[in-house]
Amino acid sequence: MKFLKVVFVLIGVFIAVSVHAQSSDELKRRRDKYNEELEKLNREYEQTANNKKSTLKQLSLLKAQINLREEKISVINSDAKAPIPYIACKASQIS
């Protein structure tokens, strides 16, 4: 009877150690998998942040171009309007 108890206790201990080893390995695999996924997400985040900086810089450059073109158009309009009074004066003198 004592022998059977010892055998059952030993079997129970072996099973517990085996289960613990399997679950420990499984936990390690899951931990490693999550670490890889987190590293991947961090790389994607950094790429997105770099793209955002690049996009913001492009937006800033486009705004500067628009402002310069608006100023250029304003100068061209002023140049085009300058001769109108002179032309109108000459036209009235001719008539």
Q: Give residue-wise pLDDT tens across range 53-90.
A: 888 889 999 999 999 999 999 888 877 776 666 666 66
What percent of the chain is modeled with pLDDT above 90? Answer: 19
Domain of residue 31 covers 2-94
**Count of structural domains within the chain:** 1
Using CB atoms within 10 Å of the CB of residue 15, give its burial: 0 to 12 exposed, 13 to 18 middle, 19+ buried.
Answer: exposed
Determine the angle formed by the axes of helices 83-94 and 2-81, rounding to 10 degrees.
30
- pTM of the predicted model as reported, rounded to 2 decimal places: 0.47
Average pLDDT, the chain: 79
Distance set, CA 19 to CA 6, 23, 27, 33 (Å): 20, 6, 12, 21
pLDDT given at position 65: 94
